[in-house]
Structure 1
Amino acid sequence: MTGAAQYALPGTWELVGLCTASYAVYLVISAIYFLFFHPLAKFPGPRWWAVSRIPWAYHVIKGDLWSVLDTLHEKYGEVVRIAPDETTTINPAAWKDIYVTKPVLAKDPYSLTPPLNGAHSLFTAEGDVHRRLRGALVNGFADRALRDQAPIVEGYANQLIARLRREAAKSADGRVNIQRLYGYATFDTVTDLSFGESLLATLEGDSDNDEITAFFLHAKFSTIRNCLSRFSPLDIFLGLFLLGITRKTRERNWRLTTEKISRRLARGDLTGVRSDLLTPLIGKLDETGGVKGTISKAELTTNQLAFVIADCQLTTVALTTATYLLLRDPPKWQRLVDEIRGRFSSDAEVTVQSTQGLEYLEAVINETMRFRHPTPISLPRYIPREGRTVDGRLIPGNTIIGINLQNIQTAPNLWVEPQGFHPERFLPDSDPRYDHRFDRDVKAAFMPFSSGPRNCIGSKVFLAQARMFLAKVVWNFDLVMLGNQEDWLDQKAYLVFEPKPLLVKLRVPGQTTHV
């Protein structure tokens, strides 16, 4: 036998078998390491989730991760390992330890969608860039600014009521899909505030406007893209596929946004005429991007579009969910009716300013956000090499930890009847409507807009819209839900819960016939 024959290279199938066997050995060794020797091995959680990101990714793409995490917390406790390198917690002390304590933890980079125009928004920026952008934008969200912006919110609230009346009049029994109209109202409002004018004028006329759905695409697209970014090189191919099929929609959104912002900036300072989110930025754009408290036009475009997408979806889902929960529980609907109709003697009295301080209205909004947060997402943060102590427990470095907004607000160990809708729990304890069994609620767990320097900058704008639109609807109409719609809460979530129609009947108070 010659030397060449004695040492012949293996054939194709032998190579395939060798590679397969080697990969199998690698997987087994990796699984053993993740289960028994990884720094997170001491944290409880399902074994398949500990050795692979696949179970986590499956539920992200399925749109039910928040629900599955609820089940995992009930089974394993307040801190659960949900991936080889990630834990989630429902410990109220974690709000401070993860999101407030300095040095502030960076976002998990895999949770950030790369800015498509190369300019960061508050959602994606880190460090000095985030501080600069927030410093530039924050004045548009201040209390004084909101008072000046109130006429815009109130104007669209009036348009919402007028459109609801027209929609009800077109139906034989006064039925209306109120979710769609809430969506129109919030979209018109936030685009007017962000761009200087309504982008699509969806409340005008009587026809449906399906163009609004193009803006809801971003949430689902970003969720799936971020999920796939963890699976290299699969992420490259699938990312290009997703970018391809959404390209026209994204380009259209950018074009419309850029055109509107340019037109608003060209109008200059409109003090005394109108105030919006761009007002504090007129004449202060800086293309160098290096001066504290300044912002470039590209960054402004990114941020305004991001705020429109976030605010419209969050507010639409919250208002529709609140309406559903109230109509499902008539005594609670009546309590809100009594408060609003007992406070105001005319529709014109219902304003952004006058709806502040309505305790039951505020409690309804808070309980809606607790019971069903519109964005049931985790807020993952990267733990540096030295680790971070969270409520006395050291979380190993080079790992990820976060709080899921939905899970911490429905944890049975933190809330009395967590799966029940009880606005009374958020009333002052001196209010006769308050129920003292809710004294045992751990209110420190309730942070619907997050905490620390990266908390939601637009929370006050959201609350102004939520109070105004809900109060206007309650003042003007008696609502009755069509059927039980018992499965209405069965919704998928991609950053936000996907909007779902809510059919109601509208009647003018005191009348037996529909509008």
Structure 2
Amino acid sequence: MAPPLPIVSPISATIACVSIVTLYIVGVIFYRLYLHPLRDWPGPLLWRISGLPRAYHLMKGDLTFKIAELQGKYGRFFRVMPNEVACNDPRAWKDIYGHRVGGQNQEMPKFKGSFIVPSYLPPSIIEADREQHSLLRRQLSHGFSEKSLRQQEGIIGAYVQLLIQRLHEHSKNGSVALNMREWFNYVSFDIIGDLGFGSSFGCLESSSYHPWVQVISNALLESAAFRALNTLGLRPLVDLMFRLGATKKNDENMELVRNKVQERMKLGMERPDLIEGLLRKKNEWQMDLEGLAANANVLIIAGSETTSTLLCGTVSLLTSNPDKLAKLAQEVRSSFNSDEEITLLSVNNLSYMLACLNEAFRLYPPAAADLPRVVPKGGATVAGRFVPEGTIAAVWQWPMYHNPEFWTDPYDYVPERWMGDPKYKDDVFDVLQPFSFGPRNCIGRNLAYAEMRLILAKIVFNFDMDIADDSRRWMKDQKTYVLWDKPSLNVYLTPVAKKGE
């Protein structure tokens, strides 16, 4: 007869479990601090042993500012998670995002944990691997070419002119402050609707938001939570949440995208829009509605929200620096005699305006945070420093753009630094890469610059601007999740007397 098994009391079992868990946690901490390949990289203690601090600040909306604070303490290279490093050095743009890594003809792949789209859905150009990305970019590039931009000028110009008309109607000769955040959203959303899918969203026509604009805003806030979960290695949970319908705002957004794509497909004709290239190849690639919608969603958000964000930042900075605004007004109003002379082509001659936009990109980049990549097998040298394979590496835009190592008066709005002012001759201008760098840089760069120049030139030509008292600290304490969470930007617009009047 076998001896009876020893009876283990509940207290003893609990102590054993707690001991095992404690030993495991201590072992993980010891490994990450003393044995991990990144053990020699500096960083705050908690950040080196856990992803929780990063996730916390992401959800709080101040992660990019916390990274800037850490940059001031630890320098250009530091750990932001046990397996992630910040490489805030100008050379890192090429080494991380460029065509060649460590002498090998390959790219650093994107870190999939940063994606907020569930892994079981078709990838967009953002999430696609190298081969898929090349195919998608090749087809989408037709809509962003110089030829297409010239063909689109009439469409863009009509919406910008309608914007000016509406601003005249609602400003009431400068007696009412207008929320320019809304108006920039209206025009950018209408333009991308027409350029991308053949019809606007009617925002300027009705002088009000299309419901979709708020849906996108809510979906981006919801997505910050998904990114936080991904940071903690809980990507399967994010996929499960999508499958269970627990991602209401993102689901609602994607349903609207699908409807918009179906409307465009029903047009049944070729037109110089942004999605035409994909539609021509959809049968050959066996791309279904989900695949088209995934890419259309990128076009809508990247083509509207980022443009309106930069215009908001530029107007906030100009109205907060009246001497800069006066200089820009002098350039614009001395260059043109009428609205009709202000075109996508003619605004290219406004050099000070370009400097104003570039300086706004530096101080208020629409994509303020990181673009993480994974270091390939064998490791890579980034900005002269070896980074082990499997490490997540990234450049953080806002911290880099405010680093006194690279910029004189880094927190001041000085467009003159881009105009050859000798005081700023030592600034490292290559640091500024608001559209990213390399083969995955933003395909819509030319369209964005053209659109922003035309809108800003028309507004400055037609109106004097004064910022309202309640918006003087507009940039102060803003949160940034996937994009900025922008408060109202209230500005008084006073019509300018036309030449000859």
TM over 0.5: yes
Change (3 A) 1:116 1:287: farther
Change (3 A) 1:326 1:498: same
The structure 1 residue matched to 2:423, chosen from 430, 437, 444, is: 437
- Per-residue CA deviation, residues 131-172 of structure 1 (Å, 9 max, x unaligned), is 111111111111111111111111111111122122223x99
**Equivalent position of 1:258 in the other structure:** 258
Within 5 A, what are the aligned runs for 1:7-406?
A: 8-100=6-98, 101=100, 102-115=105-118, 118-169=121-172, 173-198=175-200, 200-231=201-232, 236=237, 240=241, 244-247=245-248, 249-270=249-270, 275-281=272-278, 283-289=280-286, 297-406=289-398
Q: 1:77 to 1:40 in 2, by over 3 A?
A: same
CA–CA distance in structure 1, aligned partners of residues 300 and 242 of structure 2: 25
1:55-75 deviation line (CA, Å, top 9, x unaligned): 111001111110000010110
* Length-normalised TM-score, structure 1: 0.90
Structure 1 residues 378 and 179: CA distance shift in structure 2, 3 A: same
Q: Distance in 1 between matches of 2:130 and 2:242?
A: 31
**Is the CA contact (8 Å cut-off) linking 2:229 and 2:238 kept in structure 1?**
no
Pair 1:142–1:110, CA change in 2 (3 A): same
1:165-195 CA-partner distances (Å, limit 9, x unpaired):
22223x9922111111111111111111111
Matched residues, percent identical?
32
Aligned-residue offset at 1:50: 0.2
Distance 1:176 1:319 in 2: 14
After superposition, the Cα gap between the structure-2 partners of 1:343 and 1:120, relative to the gap in structure 1 and judged at 3 Å, is same
Counterpart residue type for residue 392 of structure 2: I
* Cα offsets for 1:42-94 (capped at 9, x unmatched): 11111110000001110011111100000101100110111100100111111
* Aligned residue identity for 1:259: N
Q: TM-score, normalised by structure 2?
A: 0.92
Distance 1:306 1:337 in 2: 34
Q: Return the alpha-carbon distance in structure 2 between the equivalents of residues 154 and 116 of structure 1.
A: 39
For 1:292, the equivalent position in structure 2 comes to: none
Distance 1:225 1:344 in 2: 48
Partner of 1:164: helix, strand, or coil?
Answer: helix
The DSSP-based 3-state class of the residue aligned with 1:107 is coil
- Check conservation: 2:113, 2:230, Cα contact below 8 A: yes
- Mapped to 1, the partners of 2:237 and 2:76 lie a distance apart of 35
Structure 1 distance, partners of 2:208, 2:115, is 37
Q: 3-state SS of the aligned residue for 1:356?
A: helix
Residue 435 of structure 2 corresponds to: 449
Q: Aligned equivalents of 2:238 and 2:416: distance in 1?
A: 51
Q: Which amino acid aligns with 1:138?
A: S
**Matched-pair contact (CA < 8 Å) for 1:51–1:84:** yes
Letter in 1 for 2:213: I
2:496 is the alignment partner of 1:497: no
Q: Which amino acid aligns with 1:504?
A: V
Q: Which deviates the most, 442-451 or 158-167?
A: 158-167
Write out per-residue CA displacement over residues 186-213 of structure 1, whole angstroms, 9 at most, x where no aligned residue: 1111111111111x31111344545411
Checking the alignment, whether the CA contact within 8 Å between 2:180 and 2:312 is kept in structure 1 is: yes
Say if 1:221 and 1:242, in contact at 8 Å, map to a contact too.
no
Structure 2 spans left out of the alignment, 5+ residues: none
Instruction: Tell whether 2:414 aligns with 1:465.
Output: no
SS at match of 1:507: strand
Pick the aligned partner of 2:402 from 398, 410, 425: 410
Secondary structure in structure 2 of the residue aligned to 1:286: helix
Give the whole-Å Cα distance in 2 for the aligned partners of 1:422 and 1:312.
26
Q: Deviations over 1:77-136 (max 9, x none)?
A: 110111100100111111111111231010111012235882211111112111111111
Deviation at residue 239 of structure 1 after TM alignment: 5.9
RMSD: 2.3
**CA–CA distance in structure 1, aligned partners of residues 497 and 255 of structure 2:** 48
Name the aligned partner's letter for residue 88 of structure 2. I
Deviation of 1:219 after TM superposition, in Å, equals: 2.3
2:465 is paired with a residue whose SS is strand
TM-fit CA distance, 1:487: 3.2
Q: What amino acid maps onto 2:406 in structure 1?
A: L
C-alpha deviation, 1:262, in angstroms: 3.0
The 8 Å contact of residues 216 and 313 in structure 1, kept in 2 or not, is answered as no
Q: Which amino acid aligns with 1:492?
A: K
* Structure 1 residue 215, shift from structure 2 partner: 1.6
CA distance in 2, matches of 1:238, 1:114: 8
Structure-2 change in CA distance of 1:243 and 1:454 (3 Å): farther
Give the distance between the partners of 2:75 and 2:36, measured in 1 at CA.
20
Contact 2:118–2:242 (8 Å) recurs in 1: no
Q: Which residue of 1 aligns with 2:465?
A: 479
1:505–1:245: structure 2 CA closer, same or farther, 3 Å change rule?
farther
SS in 2 for 1:87: strand
- Is the CA contact 2:124–2:294 (under 8 Å) kept in the aligned structure 1? yes
Distance 1:281 1:471, change over 3 A: same
Q: Partner letter of residue 306 of structure 1?
A: V
* 1:419 matched to 2:411: yes
With over 3 angstroms needed to count, the CA separation of the structure-2 counterparts of 1:167 and 1:418, relative to structure 1, is same
Q: Tell whether the 8 Å contact from 2:92 to 2:382 is kept in structure 1 after alignment.
A: yes
Distance in 1 (alpha carbons) for counterparts of 2:239 and 2:8: 34
456-465 or 43-52, which deviates more: 456-465
Between the aligned partners of 1:111 and 1:99, the Cα distance in structure 2 is: 16
SS of residue in 1 equivalent to 2:381: strand
Unpaired runs of 5+ in structure 1?
A: 290-294, 430-434
Q: How many residues align?
A: 491
Does the 8 A contact of 2:118 with 2:239 survive in 1?
no
Say which SS state the counterpart of residue 122 (structure 1) adopts: coil
